[in-house]
């Protein structure tokens, strides 16, 4: 079981929308971790209409994401329209390696047509994955 520190937000709790860009996180001078980053994406309030579709984790050597950007992974989110409108839920949990020379990361969330609800994403380093 992984325990996620709510202080390590990639997306602070935000109202669900068609395009959400999370906060830019500075990993420090050494950039990417030796172990993959663990990401937990949750719908903390159900959406009123539509559904959240996917998230994308990006890294960059520049804080403005102006050059050298790498899409580390793109993940389809769990739950159909009926499930996401019914209750809060975990949408995705995944590991993602970060390019070793990239110091900054951000998570974006996409949806075709969604309103209401709240989405958040947190990260943690060094979570072991059982085989």
Predicted TM-score of the model (pTM)? 0.85
Query: According to CATH, what is the number of the domain 9-125?
Result: 2.60.120
pLDDT tens column, 4-55: 455 588 888 899 888 899 989 888 887 776 678 889 999 999 999 999 999 9
Tell me which residue of 57, 63, 60, 59 sits closest to 108, measured CA to CA: 57
| Top-confidence residue, 2 or 116 | 116
Radius of gyration, CA atoms only, the chain:
15
Nearest 5°: the CA angle 15, 16, 18 is 130
Rounded to 10 degrees, the C-alpha dihedral 33/14/21/113 comes to 130
């Amino acid at each position: 079981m992984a325990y996620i520190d709510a202080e390590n937000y990639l997306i602070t709790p935000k109202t669900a929308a068609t395009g959400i860009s999370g906060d830019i996180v500075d990993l420090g001078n050494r950039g990417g971790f030796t172990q993959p980053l663990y990401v937990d994406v949750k719908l903390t309030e159900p959406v009123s209409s539509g559904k959240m579709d996917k998230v994308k984790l990006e890294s960059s050597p520049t804080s403005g994401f102006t050059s050298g950007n790498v899409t580390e992974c793109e993940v389809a989110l769990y739950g159909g329209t009926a499930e996401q409108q019914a209750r809060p839920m975990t949408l995705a949990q995944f590991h993602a390696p970060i390019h070793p020379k990239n110091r900054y990361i951000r998570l974006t969330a996409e949806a075709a047509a969604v309103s209401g609800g709240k989405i958040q994403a947190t990260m943690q380093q060094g979570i072991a994955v059982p085989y």
